Amino acid sequence: MLDGRYRIEAFVARGGMATVYRGADLRLDRTVAVKVMHPSFATDPGFVERFEREARAAARLSSPYVVGVHDQGTDAGLTYLVMEYVPGHTVRDVLRTHGPLPPAQALAIVDPVLEALAAAHRAGYIHRDVKPENVLISDDGRVKVTDFGLARAIEGADSGKTHGLLLGTVAYLSPEQVEHDRTDARSDVYGAGILLFELVTGQVPFSASAPMQVAYKHVHEDVPAPSSVRAGVPAEVDALVQRATRRQPDARFPDADAFLHAVRDLRRSLPPAQPWSPAPNDTLVVARPEPPAPAAETRPAPGSGARAAGAAAAGVAGAMAGAGAAGLVADATRSERPGWQPGVGAGAPQAGPGSGSGDAQDGHATTVSAATAAADPRQPRRRHRGRWLAAVALLSVVGVVFLVLGPMQRVGVPNVLGMTPTEATAVLATANLKLDASQTDYSEDFQKGQIMATDPGPDSSARSGSTISATVSKGPERYDVPDLEGRTLAQAEEALAEVKMTLGTQTQDWHDTIDEGDIVSTDPPAGQTVKPGTVVNVTVSKGPEPVDLPDLVGASADSATATLKDLGLKVKQSRKSSESVAAGNVISMDPKSGTTVYRGDTVSLVVSSGPPLVTVPDVVGKTEAAARSALQKAGFQVQVNYPLRFNLLDRVRTQTPKAQAKAPKGSTIRIDVV
């Protein structure tokens, strides 16, 4: 028991945030549905606010197609909503049981869904979670939309971000919900379009293993035509779905009411849907018997426009036919009177006794027979005069019909903006209009291949059978930034003008290979695709950067080379022997240190290979003095060694290096004297 008033009687369903029960309102003695928030969420202010928002949103809606919320409260820590109890099934149950539905039946379900969404939009709310689970079909065939827990006031729809959380069911989310969490009435239109797609195909347009992959497809892929998934879906249904699910919100129906009008226009041209409800044997059956056809009446059936004129003409023709006529039915357009529910099981327009045409009050056709006319006591006795008057009346009516239905008839031009020429042709054909889509132009608002403008425009009128001129979008006008490297400024301006761009600021910088005054690079870079009118900034070469050469004489060749390369210079090395510079060090450089050169220039380094090599003379057998003299004369140092510790014979016994070997000039030769 909640608040001493609502008795919980049976479990109905469990969702991610709450559990729904069938309950009894003891105060008003009625069955209700009680939605109780899971305790784990009751302490989260955001979830509680969502519950309260659902109550406020539903309370503001006055529509027979919305599940009403009666009460909201908290008892013993349990937060709950009390709602209208609708015994029946969800559309998800119907799809699981029956699979794809015939187009007329699908439209009969979508019709009241759009009625509910239109009521929400008029009240200043958007639903944001249109899906089969939130559409209920009662056991007597009524359709109702539930779960306004994600509803948001339209004026606040672009604020209140959710920190990356996608609110709604990903299979039905509009691209703007995925990218920016921005929603308006057109977002509900998108969800209703996906719902219609699923009703006629039995599947959603996008599926993937991960929800974010599905969300990515909503943003980057167009919803395909239902007929590409399930053969036999009419082109008019394709056009409806694709118009409702355009990725650009401006290309969709502006709200649910506009979508609803398009659905009803199409329903009038399709075979009628039979009212039904899910039966125990899982077949579609009539939810209630059709009313019996009424007795024939003599009053004329009300009509409107061209069809009323056609009915009047048919009535005169029947009167002229005399006793040989068997009678005829005047086909007047059914009036959508207040209280008529165009949903499933609620009297969707259909042909047959008591439903296709006739009086606006009882919905039945009026029958005029020859017998009725003959029994009328007011009928003139002079039959010739009566026939003459009837003929005049007939000609008058035929003239009116000719003007209304003939060359002078004007019809409303459907809004085909955002459609492809193929889709637009099918839609215009329903209004007896043709399409000329030979003109093309660029557009920032319409994708390539979509109609961006018509003449006459949408919601205007044109003669029946005339041709509507359409301009087809070539997509956004874009050009690639040309490659301007190495060109002069004059050449760059000319190249940019050819692709509708202009030359912007000019920044100078050093460059090793591009001549002074020529272009080094661009911003945006070459090859990037940009809009017309883009300003392209350029960097202009000042030529190679000047460099003052440092003094590298005496430094090691490796360190000198590294220093020069860091300065952007090239290095050339040669080797030369030197008695004064150690091997591997720089003897000289060209140009000399202090000279100004430019990056990319070459500096030559002469690197020492050490002292020159000299042939060692043969001094074995010579006296110490003679050996010392010969070696010193050849440029060597001499080291004398006495193996016997004294000079006994004064003769050189051995020498190192040996005679005729090559040794650096100035190096030491060892001799052994005995």
Residues annotated as part of the active site: 129
* Cβ atoms within 10 Å of 77's Cβ, excluding its own: 9
- Give Cβ neighbours of residue 261 (< 8 Å, ≥ 6 apart): none
Which tokens in the block code for residue 537? 């900034």
8 A C-beta contact, residue 144 and residue 66: yes
CA distance 367 to 297: 6
Strand order in the sheet with 637-641: 637-641, 668-673, 652-656
Q: Please tell me the distance from the alpha carbon of residue 190 to that of residue 90, in angstroms, as a whole number.
A: 20
Amino acid at site 328: L
Question: What per-residue string of b and e applies to 348-375 under the rule 16 or more CB within 10 Å gives b?
Answer: bbbeeebbbbbbeeebbbbbbebeebee
Token look-up 């060209």 returns 590
Find how far residue 597's CA is from the centre of its chain. Answer: 57
Q: Dump the DSSP string for 450-481.
A: SEEEEESPTT-EEETT-EEEEEEE--S--EEP
Dist. CA 298–CA 374, nearest whole Å:
12
Closest by CA position to 223, among listed 236, 210, 207, 202 = 207
- Residue 626 DSSP one-character state: H
d(CA 153, CA 195): 22
Q: Helix, strand or coil for residue 627?
A: helix
**Contact predicate 417/424, CB 8 Å:** no
Token code pair at residue 331: 């086909």
Query: For residue 611, is the peptide bond before it cis, meaning its omega torsion is within 30 degrees of 0?
Result: no
* DSSP-assigned letters across all residues of 546-599: EEEPP--TTSBHHHHHHHHHHTT-EEEEEEE--SSS-TTBEEEEESPTT-EEET
Nearest to 379 by CA among 297, 298, 294: 298
Q: Tell me the β-bridge partners of 83.
A: 33, 69
Q: What tokens were used for 660?
A: 């005729």
Q: How far apart are CA 143 and CA 86, in angstroms?
A: 10
- Sorted by sequence, the CB contacts under 8 Å of residue 390 that are 6+ apart come out as 316, 319, 320
Count other Cβ atoms within 10 Å, centred on residue 134. Answer: 25
